[in-house]
Amino acid sequence: MIFSRNLVYSLALLVASLPMLAGCSEGASSESAVVEEVNSQVAFVYSENTDEYNMSRLHDIGRQYLDEQLPDLGTKAVESVSVDDAESVVRQLAEEGHKLIFAAAPEFSNAVLKVAADFPDTKFEVAGGAETADNVATYSGRMYQAFYVAGGYTGEMTVSGIIGFIAPEPTIEVIRNINAITAASLLVRTCEDISVHVRFTGSWDDPDADRAAALELVDLGADVLVQHTYNPEVQKVAEEKGVRSVGYGFDMREFGAEANMTSIVWQWGWYYLRRVNDLLEDKWKAKAYDGKVSTKNFGRGIIDMAPYDYDQIPHIMEAPPLKWRITWNETNKDALDGPLYSQAGDLLLEKNKKFPKGYLYTDMDWFVQGVVGEAPGEPPPTIEGRGSDIKC
C-alpha cells in the first residue's frame, strides 16, 4: 500500500488525541501519523514517484513480482521519500513490525544504519549502499557487464558504423557503461571504423530531450541507438526512423516492435524473491551483493538482457555475447579487463590485466577508444606493454 500526503494528514487529524507516531508517507514529516493494522512483512522505501519512468518504478516492478510469487507475504511501499525524511519513515516501518525493509536508493544509507542500530532483530537492505552492518545488507549489480554483452549485438548490427548513445549525465556509472558497450562493439568489428557517439540530455527522464538527442544521432548517421535513460522515447524514435535500438531499465519491446533488439534490464524482483526466501528460511545474512549478468536467457540475475527472437538478433550473432555471459560468471574475467585504450588510441591497461580494486567505480571518468564525446576526467598515464594481439 502506498500512502499519499493527504491520506496521511487526514488520518493524523483523526487520531490527534492519541500519542503521535513517527510518520510513514510520501515524504511526510515526522509530525504526521498513520495508525493502522499492519499485515505486511516486507517494506520498501523509494526516493521517487513510481508513476514516472525512474529507478523507483523499476524497484516497484520488483516488489510487484515479489507479491505475485509470495501472495501471502504482504508488502508495503512508501514513495517520494526525501533524504531528510528517510530516518523517520524507516523507523516507523521498523516500529510497525516489518521483518525486512528495502531502502531502494543509496542516499538512504545513513538513515538505515542509524535506525538499524535500534532494531537489531529487523533486517535492512540498501540499494547501492556503501556500508553493511550486522543487520544491514547492500545490493547492486555490475550493469556494465550487461552493456558489454549488448555491445556484441550493437557492433554486429550496425551498417553505418555509427552507434548513437543517449545518456543522462557523465557520471562514473554512465561512463563505465558507455566504455563497456564501446569496447565490445569494437571487439566484434576489429579493424573496422566503428564509433559510439554520445549525447548527454542532463536528465534520467526527459522525453523531449531524449527524442531530440535520438533524432540528432540518426541525422548523424547512427543506425543503432542505445539508451541509458528510463523513458521509452528513444525506442519510439528508432521505430519511426527504421533503425535498431537497445532499451534500458525494463523490457521496452512494446515501444519499438521492429526496432528494439533487446533491453538491458534491472531484475530487482529476482533479487527480492531470493532475499525474502532467505529471511523466511532463516538464512538471511548481511552482505554486500554485487550481481553479475545472468547466464540464462532471462530471469536468473539482477541484471540481464530482455528476451528477444531471431528476427531481432540473428542467430549467428548470438554466440560471442552468450560466451561472454558464461565467462564472467564462471571465471574471474571482467568485461573491462585489458587491453584498454584511451580515446587517442594510447594503451592504458595491458592485455589480461585489471585496474586496482574499486577503480571502475571511483576513477573511470574518461572514455575509451571508439567513443566520440567529452568526459570530465583524464585517462591514466599511457603505458608500454602487451596490447591487442591483432594489429590493424
| DSSP calls for 348-389 | EE-TT--PPTTHHHHT--SPBTTEES--SS-PPPP--S---S
Q: How confident is the model at residue 327 (pLDDT cuts 50, 70, 90)?
A: confident
**Per the structure block, which three cell numbers stand in for 367?**
572514455
Q: What are 85-120's pLDDT values in tens digits?
A: 999 999 999 999 999 999 999 999 999 999 999 999
Give 16 or 205, the one with higher predicted confidence: 205
Domain ranges of the chain: 5-141, 143-263+302-372
Single pTM value for the model:
0.86
CA atoms within a 13 Å half-sphere pointing along the CA-CB vector of 180: 25
Q: What are 177-213's pLDDT values in tens digits?
A: 999 999 999 999 998 999 999 999 999 999 999 999 9
CB 80 within 8 A of CB 98: no
Predicted confidence (pLDDT) at residue 325 exceeds the cutoff of 80:
no
Q: How confident is the model at residue 11 (pLDDT cuts 50, 70, 90)?
A: very low
Pick the CATH number of 143-263+302-372 from 3.90.1140.10, 3.90.320.10, 3.40.50.2300, 3.30.300.30: 3.40.50.2300
Helix (H, G, I), strand (E, B) or coil at 75: strand
Average pLDDT over residues 370-374: 98
Residue 161 region, left (φ>0) first, then alpha (ψ -120 to 50), else beta?
left
Question: CA dist 151 to 66, 164, 185, 317, 359, Å?
Answer: 31, 12, 5, 11, 22
Give the integer Cα–Cα distance in Å for 107 and 5: 22
pLDDT, position 330: 61
Q: Which of 195, 188, 190 is nearest to 153 (CA)?
A: 188
Question: CA dist 275 to 5, 23, 270, 280, 305, Å?
Answer: 30, 27, 9, 9, 22
Strand 195-200 versus strand 371-372 pairing type: parallel
pLDDT, position 294: 77
pLDDT, position 316: 66
CATH no. for 5-141:
3.40.50.2300
Same fold yes or no, 5-141 and 143-263+302-372: yes
pLDDT, position 9: 33
